[in-house]
Amino acid sequence: DIVMTQGVLPNPVPSGESASITCRSSKSLVYKDGKTYLNWFLQRPGQSPQLLTYWMSTRASGVSDRFSGSGSGTYFTLKISRVRAEDAGVYYCQQVREYPLTFGSGTKLEIK
Amino acid sequence: QVQLKESGPGLVQPSQTLSLTCTVSGFSLMDYSVHWVRQPPGKGLEWMGRMKYDGDTYYNSALKSRLSISRDTSKSQVFLKMNSLQTEDTAIYYCTRENVMDAWGQGASVTVSS
Q: β-pairing, B108-112 with B18-25?
A: unpaired
Question: Is B99 within 8 Å of A96 when comparing Cβ atoms?
Answer: yes
Could you report the per-residue pLDDT of A9-39, keeping only the tens digit for each?
A: 999 999 999 999 999 999 999 999 999 999 9
Provide the pLDDT for residue A92: 98
With an 8 Å Cβ cutoff, are B47 and A102 in contact?
yes
User: Which of B46, B61, B94 is opposite residue A48, by nearest beta carbon?
Assistant: B94
Distance from CA of B97 to the nearest CA of A (A): 11
Residue A40 pairs in a beta bridge with A53, A93
Report long-range pairs for B108-111 (Cβ below 8 Å, ≥24 apart): B108/B6, B108/B7, B108/B8, B108/B10, B108/B20, B109/B10, B110/B8, B110/B9, B110/B10, B110/B11, B110/B12, B110/B18, B110/B20, B111/B10, B111/B11, B111/B12
Residues A42-61 pLDDT 10s: 999 999 999 999 999 999 99
Residue A6 · residue A104 · CB < 8 Å: yes
Interface check for A100 against chain B (CB to CB < 8 A): the answer is: yes
- Percent above pLDDT 70 for chain A: 100
Q: Which residue(s) pair with A94 in the sheet?
A: A39, A103
- Residues of chain A with C-beta less than 8 angstroms from the C-beta of B106: 48
Q: State how far residue B62 is from chain A, nearest Cα, in angstroms.
A: 10
Nearest by CB: B45 against A54, A60, A92: A92
Q: For every one of its 114 residues, what pLDDT tens digit does chain B have, with 9 covering 90 and above?
A: 999 999 999 999 999 999 999 999 999 999 999 999 999 999 999 999 999 999 999 999 999 999 999 999 999 999 999 999 999 999 999 999 998 999 999 999 999 999
Q: CA end-to-end span of chain B, whole Å?
A: 39
Distance (Å) from the alpha carbon of B78 to chain A's nearest alpha carbon: 19
pLDDT (tens digit, 9 = 90+) per residue, A57-80? 999 999 999 999 999 999 999 999
Total number of residues shown for chain A: 112
Summarised one tens digit per residue, pLDDT across range A83-96 is 999 999 999 999 99
Q: What angle do CA B23, B10, B34 make, to 5 degrees?
A: 30
CB A70 within 8 A of CB A57: yes
Rounded CA-CA distance B72/B11 in Å is 24
